[in-house]
Chain A
């Protein structure tokens, strides 16, 4: 079956073609089930191939498709890579994708443009599979750009809403900054190694100067910062919630945003050779985790809470791969895909029932009316908070344990963030589902959703509970299946983690677990106390720490700062600015300003186009004289 792994990409593409061309004629129901069917077929292909991986020689197989391009002696064969990591990602993408597709049938049942929606969604699945299945950096880059384009299309799906169109534009522009770095990184790999094939690059990496590897990894990481929404380029992700909720669940929580983590894990050989970059990666991840969690504390939009929580959790993953715990990062990626997709879809379920009301200050008391949504949301919340024995608990603790070995300060940040996570998650649960209904009119209309939406929730809830079995803590002598599974890919993972700092003892491991479990429970209890027991506390705290509260509520004014720093001067200074500021990097942030200033030149030149033949002829004559003189005098 591994030879036919390309079918996993082909099936969703068939869906794209069918829905894209005949979508409107086929009717709404057909649109959805065609999309679901193709993703299900891709999932089956994925499962069958997955099962064969252990029997492959060296657990990997390159499946050549065709010769793609030739430039001089540089040849790129379009081929796919079947190995433990790519297959695991394929399962996550198609599996979670399948559930979200099913859910989307219910969620989008009132929308007038279902065909277009499922066309984009299938296109996204195909693009994401190109990204994870490619066996070279060029394919990775192509997939990287394609998922970006799909994300842009889907954020702006309701383009007639200004906010959606703006959010789409913002995501596009911010991601361009990252992609620019990524493209440079790929280019540097090419010039350094003369090839883009993973295997060739990784084999030759040891012979290259560390400085070059550091530069490559740093540039690639710039791409990851953009795509995986890390500081300072995370600003697009919260706005991306303007898209339909299934999109938020699939693209902006479960799959696309984890592409950066996947890329670093895939390039682990390079990152292991570049300790400086790895340090930066770890620090950026840790700081992002904390930073985003603090903002999530005070948001009132349920989807935005989840968005900031996604950024924070991505921070954990990035921190993990930064300290060299690649398998742990991937583990958390998988469990996060389960519980965050679940949380988003449950939030969407609320939104669907409440007719697009998503402000938690207008909800409350939904527990009785939407039992399935409520209980699945709680399961997801527990997993997100890292409540003992849920999936999130094992994956997060593995990261924390590995971080503890690497750097105590990062560990401290991680643990504190875990406390915050528990608090904001249950704040959201209590505000939405408990207490008294705050808006009678909204409450009146709320009802549980159809099975097509709730069944995927239940399945994901099961995965959120039991997903942890994939990677039980090896430090306690329990079998860590995932570590073993991914071992062929991460053989070199310990190159940079110093040898002395081998595994912490069982005692330490248990201690760490106990500490984080305590903090998690503490966070949940605190949320209960503040938001259910004594709601006035929340108000009071907000008042007594008005300055801090305002800072958080306004998300550290980052958007405003970026506006003030980049966007507005760009508009104002126009011509001058475009020349001074580095054309490459900031150019993209400055999109508006540059466009205007260049547009100014354009109008000037346009004015030279006078329409008089006389003037044109003079220009030809002068040009002829200049060229003639140049050649005559040579």
Chain B
């Protein structure tokens, strides 16, 4: 009788993930005993920050080795995405601490769900096997479905939940089918094994079809046209704190897996998927921007704008080069700060029953609350891509990656699109600074210290990255796999 051999699992590589999940479980348990839900929020924040610190300390150490029989890998790439996810989570927790209390939604499970969703995202960033991708994706998605429907007394919230859930499962089915076909064509679910089989062999139509369906699944998660329809409705209906979180986190997670999958498993078909992604990028940017122009509600407008930003990021993916990956990493981190910031301001201005999110209700904000107006203007200018704010560099790097990958036409379309986008971002600024407030305008409730911290951090990040992009560029350079 042979002794049972325990394979080397390398738990160390998953330590940040365990910290996040552990904190989540702790929150679930403590929720039963603690009446002050705010302390749960601070606890979650602590867990998130701890995970980020541990993850960074591990860099270059044992964590770098593949873990659990080569299904996940905490390399520089995964670590960079962890930073994005954890910053998103931390800022969203701060936003939620203020927002949930104001709209009467302060419940402990929110923080637990947020942490579980974050752990799903982290799993997606680290995944090197389709199975882990699936588990991470579903962990994230299911938590997000529930978070969207968090406000049980609000019809929009419930509707957002059911819409997100039904379409999400529908898209997941396609994704799974794609995984199944890829598995059938290559005999493996491991990224690099798939890659080596496909590079060595002749092009199998079944693998191609599998790739197509995988693409559908991720295109849904990152809200690319024509799979974006859920985005405006769900972002609009969900509580703003949730929208803040998922507009960045879910998107970044989708891109994390998509890029690794495409670059590691499907380099053999690069020419084919490059074109497909480029077309998706054009459709996504254009529709997102154009539809955003017609919006009268700032929250909804930002939802459309987030579609457009997915389009810009797809431009970087379409480049299919190391430079493209870097530009996407760079953009996603910047996007996290500016988009969370903008949604956080929306959250501050929002009152119960979705009052306070209409464009006209932003009139005269500069007089009523100059600070809030200023940070909002900052985030919007950055989203527009105004130099020298962070968003400008993000766009510049992406466009440059596209040009260097011989996709100049795509970069041109993207530039024109960012011009169109200026109209709707500036229209908010015009409202805030150049229009007097209506007489019956709702009063602005004071923001909580937590929200102010979130706004200050995001605002500083946008400005500092704008002034000193070089250090972030150096950091991004470490975040490239392989």
Which A-chain residue is minimally distant from B323 (CB atoms)? A72
Give complex CA distance A605, B291 in Å.
6
The residue from A141, A598, A613, A624 contacting B166, defined by CB atoms under 8 A apart = A613
**CB-nearest residue of chain B to A183:** B387
Taking CB atoms and an 8 Å cut-off, the chain B residues in 458-481 that contact chain A are: 468-470, 473-474
Asked if A142 meets B388 with Cβ closer than 8 Å, knowing A602-B293, A620-B171, A620-B227, the reply is yes
Number of interface residues of B (CB under 8 A): 57
Q: Mark B156-187, 1 if CB is under 8 A from A, else 0.
A: 00000011001100110010000000000000
Cβ-defined contact, A598 with B436, below 8 A: no
If the complex has contacts A630-B276, A631-B276, are A606 and B295 also in contact, measured as CB distance less than 8 A?
A: yes
Q: How many A-B residue pairs have CB under 8 A?
A: 125
Partner of A623, one of B227, B291, B434: B227
Known: A620-B174, A631-B276. 13 other contacts (CB 8 A): A20-B374, A116-B370, A141-B387, A595-B293, A609-B232, A620-B227, A623-B226, A624-B212, A628-B212, A630-B212, A631-B209, A631-B273, A634-B203
* A165-B434, A598-B293 known; A623-B216 Cβ under 8 A: yes
Question: Do the beta carbons of A631 and B166 come within 8 Å of each other?
Answer: no
| Cα distance, A67 to B170, chains bound together (Å) | 48
Say if the beta carbon of B272 comes within 8 Å of chain A: yes
Label chain B's interface by main secondary structure: helix
User: Who on chain A is nearest to B207 by CB?
Assistant: A631
Interchain residue pairs A-B with the least CB separation, the first 8: A602-B294, A631-B212, A616-B229, A602-B293, A605-B291, A631-B208, A623-B226, A603-B294
Smallest CB–CB gap between B119 and chain A, Å? 27
Contact A156/B393 with A71-B400, A598-B423, A605-B287 known, Cβ cut-off 8 Å: no
Known contacts A598-B293, A623-B226; A631/B473 CB under 8 A: no
Write the B196-236 contact mask toward A (1 if CB under 8 angstroms, else 0): 00000001010011011101100110000011011011000
Q: How far is the CA of A116 from the CA of B474 in the complex (A)?
A: 37
- Closest chain-A Cβ to B412's Cβ sits at a distance in Å of 10
- A602 and B230 contact, CB distance less than 8 A: no
A616 B276 Cβ-Cβ under 8 A: no
* Cross-chain contact A617 with B423 (CB below 8 angstroms): no
Is B43's beta carbon under 8 Å from chain A?
A: no
Query: Are B220 and A632 within 8 A (Cβ)?
Result: no
B397 on interface, CB distance cutoff 8 Å = yes
* Inter-chain contacts of B354 with A (CB < 8 A): none
> What's the minimum C-beta distance from B234 to chain A, rounded to whole angstroms?
11
Q: Taking the nearest CB of chain B, how far is it from the CB of A586, in angstroms?
A: 13
Interface status of A599 (Cβ within 8 A of chain B): yes
For B275, give the chain A residue with the smallest CB separation. A630
Q: Is B433 an interface residue (CB 8 A)?
A: yes
Bound together, the chains give a CA A6 to CA B233 distance in angstroms of 49
Q: Is A202 an interface residue (CB 8 A)?
A: no
B110–chain A nearest beta-carbon distance, Å: 25
Q: Are A632 and B209 in contact, with the CB atoms below 8 A?
A: yes
A-side contacts of B468, CB under 8 Å: 66, 68
* A624 partner, pick from B208, B216, B400, beta carbons under 8 A: B216
Chain A binding surface, main DSSP class = helix
* A 588-634 contacts with B by CB, 8 A: 595, 598-599, 601-603, 605-606, 609, 611, 613, 615-617, 619-620, 622-624, 627-628, 630-632, 634
Known: A145-B387, A598-B423, A605-B294. A619 touches B323 (CB 8 A): no
- Residues of A573-595 at the interface with B, using a CB-CB cut-off of 8 Å, are 583, 587, 595
A350 to chain B, nearest CB (A): 29
List 30 contacting pairs A-B, 8 Å CB cutoff, sorted by A.
Answer: A66-B470, A69-B393, A69-B470, A70-B473, A71-B396, A72-B404, A156-B434, A165-B434, A587-B419, A595-B293, A598-B290, A602-B291, A602-B293, A602-B294, A605-B287, A606-B291, A609-B291, A611-B233, A613-B167, A616-B167, A616-B229, A616-B230, A619-B229, A624-B216, A627-B215, A630-B212, A631-B208, A631-B209, A631-B211, A634-B272
B292 at the interface (CB under 8 A from A): yes
- Whether A160 pairs with B470 at a CB distance below 8 angstroms is no
User: Looking across the interface, which residue of chain A has its beta carbon closest to that of B435?
Assistant: A159
Q: Which chain A residues border B434 with CB–CB below 8 Å?
A: 156, 159, 165, 168
Residues 271-314 of B, flagged 1 when their CB comes within 8 A of A and 0 if not, give 01100100000000001001111110000000000000000000
**Nearest CB of A to B57, in Å:** 26
Across-interface contacts of B205 in A (CB, < 8 A)? 632
A71→B293 contact, CB < 8 A: no
Instruction: Tell me which of B170, B292, B423, B469 contacts A68 (CB under 8 A).
Output: B469
Q: Would you call B276 and A599 a contact (CB within 8 A)?
A: no
- Chain B residue nearest to A159 in the complex (CB): B434
Task: Determine the chain B residues whose CB is within 8 A of the CB of A617 once the complex forms.
Answer: 166-167, 170
Tell me, yes or no, whether B420 is within 8 Å of chain A by CB: yes
Closest to A145 in B: B387
Complexed CA–CA distance, A583 and B54 (Å): 50
Q: Is B29 an interface residue (CB 8 A)?
A: no
Q: Shortest CB–CB separation between residue A632 and chain B, in angstroms?
A: 5
| Docked complex Cα distance between A616 and B229 (Å) | 6
- Alpha-carbon distance A20/B211, docked complex (angstroms): 53
Contacts of A606 in B (CB 8 A): 291, 294-295
- B34 beta carbon closer than 8 Å to chain A: no
Which residues of B lie under 8 Å from residue A623 when comparing CB positions? 216, 219, 226-227
Chain A nearest CB from B93 CB (Å) reads: 26
Give complex CA distance A502, B404 in Å: 49
- The residues in B between 345 and 397 inclusive whose CB is less than 8 angstroms from any CB of A are 370, 374, 387-388, 393, 396-397
* Interface flag for B416 (CB, 8 Å): yes
Set of chain A residues within 8 Å of B387, measured between Cβ atoms: 141-142, 145
* Closest chain B CB from A242 CB (angstroms): 13
Q: Which residues of A contact B420 (CB under 8 A)?
A: 598
Which residue of A has the minimal Cβ distance to B295? A606
Known: A160-B436, A630-B276. Is A615-B323 also a contact (CB below 8 A)?
Answer: no
Distance from B173 Cβ to chain A, minimum over Cβ atoms (Å): 10
**Which residues of the partner chain B approach A156 to less than 8 Å between Cβ atoms?**
434
Q: Which residues of B contact A66 (CB under 8 A)?
A: 468, 470
* Cross-chain contact of A601 among B230, B290, B323 (Cβ < 8 A): B290
Shortest CB–CB separation between residue A285 and chain B, in angstroms?
29
Q: Interface 1/0s, chain B 439-471, versus A by CB < 8 A?
A: 000000000000000000000000000001110
